[in-house]
Amino acid sequence: MTNRIETYNFITRNYHLILESPGMTEKSKIIKNQEKPVQKYRFIVQSIFALVCIWIGIEFYSFVSYLESSGVSGSAYRPPGVEGFLPISALMSVYNFFITGDIHPAHPAGVFILLAIIVVSFVFGKSFCSWLCPVGFLSELVGDFSEKIYKKLFKRRIKLPKLLDYPLRSLKYLLLGFFIYAIFFSMTAASLQFFLSSSYNKAADVKMWYFFADISRFSLIVIASLFVLSIFIRGFWCRYLCPYGALLGLISFFSPTKIKRETSSCIDCNLCAKACPSFIKVDKVITVRSDECTMCLSCVDACPVADTLNVKTKIVEKKLSKRYIGLGIIGLYILIIGIGILSGNWKNNISKEEYLILHKNIDKLGHPTSTQDIRELNRASEKGASNGSEKTGKK
């Protein structure tokens, strides 16, 4: 967190030097930005959300212990919030909801978590990544730590050249494209229902747990490599590989809420661009339109001149308070989650007895890994539907 408000503190201490620098003399009646930075509040929000995720992990560990002991020890309570870590299943459930109008009972909490993230991203841009995402939080902590070292050693931040940066940034969109093609174009409505009701999908959270609890050497090497790369290249996973971030980045283009720069009062100090963790050239544009902007507001905090860099929305033609933006992100997210809870679409309908049976066969459960597997799933679902029709006397 210290590194996030470092630029702001520098500006406060050296404000007069900035205004007296070459090229600033033509600007008159410059009013100092007195608005307090929001980074410490964002850090608190990120920390709280990360602790909630850790608590969910502890509860789920107790649930897995219950399954492993055949109900002797541990807890039979399964935290629904764990479905937030099943984004592909949630995306399939959301798609199924728009097709059928029904929320599939296997992982209903995942539907509302994903919808909350999508709505927040539409209203406030790609803000989930910088305010609520635990992976994004970890990525920021690693990035802040490494940048502190680089600035001492090299007096600058490390950034990949454009010839590497742009091709690598396309990777997350290729991954997103694969999932969209596999779910929305390759799977039939019948196979979608077939998969959502399958034993694998029902036990996907338990399978996910064992992936990390009994992680293979290859997976461990991959994760360790991503961590090391994140030290040298800020936000490596988020910037280049996260398909979730790619989806939210695309949605953010349609958001009515944008960061805007007033050229009439801008003193061209370049501090906003230096403060941006995503390397966006905020000082070169009037409106920030970038799929990498996470609405972290670091650039707005860094601006030394009042009413020069602000967040504005097409809905209300005036600047939005940074604190209100934070409250809006949190409030909107909680509101949609609350709708899921109050509507009775939060806990799944899988009994503890069924979970115990699924757990006994957990190693035998698999999922489609290629387009060929999806075609076989389509055939299997059509065959199952056909057999069901014959049994009920339907044609």
Asked which of 34-43, 147-156, 274-283, 384-393 is least confident by mean pLDDT, the reply is 384-393
Mean pLDDT of the region 172-200: 92
- Look at residue 188 and tell me whether its pLDDT is greater than 70: yes
Q: pLDDT band for position 367 (50/70/90)? A: confident
Closest CA to 197 of 101, 346, 96, 64: 96
> Six-digit token pair at 57?
């992990």
Average pLDDT over the chain reads 88
Mean pLDDT of the region 141-149: 89
Q: pLDDT band for position 10 (50/70/90)? A: low
More confident residue, 65 or 375: 65
Whole-angstrom Cα distance, residue 25 to residue 19? 8
Percent of the chain exceeding pLDDT 70 equals 89
Mean pLDDT of the region 334-350: 96
In the numeric block, the tokens 């390759």 are attached to 186
Q: pLDDT band for position 393 (50/70/90)? A: very low
Q: pLDDT band for position 1 (50/70/90)? A: low
> Six-digit token pair at 276?
């941006």
Per-residue pLDDT reduced to its tens digit, 97-123: 999 999 999 999 999 999 999 999 999
Q: pLDDT band for position 381 (50/70/90)? A: confident
- Rounded to a whole number of angstroms, the CA Rg of the chain reads 24
Asked which of 9-23, 126-140, 252-266 is least confident by mean pLDDT, the reply is 9-23
Q: pLDDT band for position 329 (50/70/90)? A: very high
pLDDT of residue 385: 55
Amino acid at 265: S
pLDDT of residue 389: 36
* Residues whose CB is less than 8 angstroms from the CB of residue 27 and which lie 6 or more positions away in sequence, other chains included: 19, 265, 267
Q: Where are the alpha helices (DSSP H) in the chain?
A: 6-13, 15-19, 39-68, 87-100, 108-124, 128-131, 134-154, 162-180, 189-196, 199-202, 204-213, 217-232, 236, 243-252, 271-275, 298-302, 322-342, 352-360, 371-392
* Residues whose CB is less than 8 angstroms from the CB of residue 377 and which lie 6 or more positions away in sequence, other chains included: 187, 191, 194, 195, 368
> Six-digit token pair at 179?
């999932």
Per-residue pLDDT reduced to its tens digit, 18-77: 555 554 444 456 788 888 999 999 999 999 999 999 999 999 999 999 999 999 999 999
- Look at residue 315 and tell me whether its pLDDT is greater than 60: yes
CA separation, residue 359 to residues 66, 339, 355 (Å): 10, 31, 6
Phi, psi at 120, each rounded to 5°: -60, -40
> Six-digit token pair at 117?
């993230």
Q: pLDDT band for position 126 (50/70/90)? A: very high
pLDDT of residue 17: 47
pLDDT of residue 296: 97
Asked whether 40 and 5 are in contact (CB, 8 A), the reply is: yes
Determine the length of the chain.
395
pLDDT of residue 366: 83
Mean pLDDT of the region 372-381: 79
Compute the C-alpha angle 107/112/118, nearest 5°: 125
Closest CA to 282 of 302, 253, 264, 254: 302
Q: Where are the alpha helices (DSSP H) in 308-370?
A: 322-342, 352-360
- Look at residue 258 and tell me whether its pLDDT is greater than 50: yes
Q: How many CB atoms lie within 10 A of CB 64?
A: 19
Whole-angstrom Cα distance, residue 82 to residue 106? 13
pLDDT of residue 384: 64
